[in-house]
Amino acid sequence: MKPQDDDIEPLTDQEAKQVWEQLTSRIKAHEEKKKKNKIIKLTSIMVAATVLLIFSIVAYRNIFVPQVYQADRHDLYITLKDGSKVTLLKGSSLTIEKSFPAETRDVYLQGNAIFNVAKSKDHPFIVHAGNYQAKVLGTVFKVLQKGSNFNIDLYEGKVQVSQREKPQESYIITPNETFSNLGDKNVAVIAPTAQNAKDPENKTFSASLAFKDFNLKKAIAIAEQTYHIKIIYPSDRDSSKISVLSHKETAEEFIERISIPLNLNIKKINENTFQLQE
């Protein structure tokens, strides 16, 4: 007997719709899963990149970015890694490289500060301030800057002062001396600190002055300010050029020095007044 084939009934519209919905639902679920996995992967990458960036910034700041101290409202007391102590005066700032201390102990000052430098024969301490730099091995000194004026008061040890663009021209100051440019980078004056220079018992103190091709009027003004004296001279000599490089000279010695090239005679009127005359 011949077997009879089973009849396969076609799906009804409702059944076909259900099958299609199940199929599309599975496809959507699969796509959503893939999309979710992709988002998770991208998020993980972004998080890792962000963490790496933050770490890099922190590492960069810790390794390369200088540390800046700012005395905004009051004096700031700082102890550096080498043990040196700095009193940063109000309104001033001090920049320290991350490499400090290195072969040289460099700091960068804007404004005024007092330095008590830890001693180190092999690692000079250098304060960069405006157009000048002060180099020491271990000492106590004060740096004052106002406009174009630059001054260093030395309390202990020795300080070597030079201009940034003229490092070969340096000046050595010793305790109780002040280096000043009197507001002119072409002037160098080393004299007793103000309180010592004005001491009534210190009438014959010595000072060192250096300037080149200055007119007589300006040179006289520098001498008067340095020695706290009055110098009278012929007014028609105002524009006469003069250069001076003196070392620890009294007022009288300095006046004698400048009188010779000018061919002028010296008349001492009193302890604080001198006259240069024809």
Query: Hey, what domains does the chain have and what are their CATH numbers?
Result: 65-185 (2.60.120.1440), 198-278 (3.55.50.30)
Tens of pLDDT, residue by residue over 15-28, are 666 767 777 777 77
85 or 59: which leads in pLDDT:
85
pLDDT above 80 (res 82): yes
40 or 241: which leads in pLDDT:
241
CA dihedral 216, 219, 223, 229 (to 10 degrees): 40
Distance CA 61, CA 50 (A): 16
Helices (H), the chain: 13-63, 194-197, 216-227, 251-262
Rounded to a whole number of angstroms, the CA Rg of the chain reads: 39
Tens of pLDDT, residue by residue over 156-176, are 999 999 998 888 889 999 999
Give the pTM.
0.73
Angle at 21 between CA 15 and CA 26, to 5 degrees: 130
Give the pLDDT of residue 117. 94
Tokens of 214: 């200055």
**Which of 257, 155, 256, 270 has its CA nearest to residue 203?**
270
Q: Are 106 and 97 in contact (CB under 8 A)?
A: yes
pLDDT above 70 (res 201): no
- Could you tell me if residue 47 is left (phi over 0), alpha (psi between -120 and 50 degrees) or otherwise beta? alpha
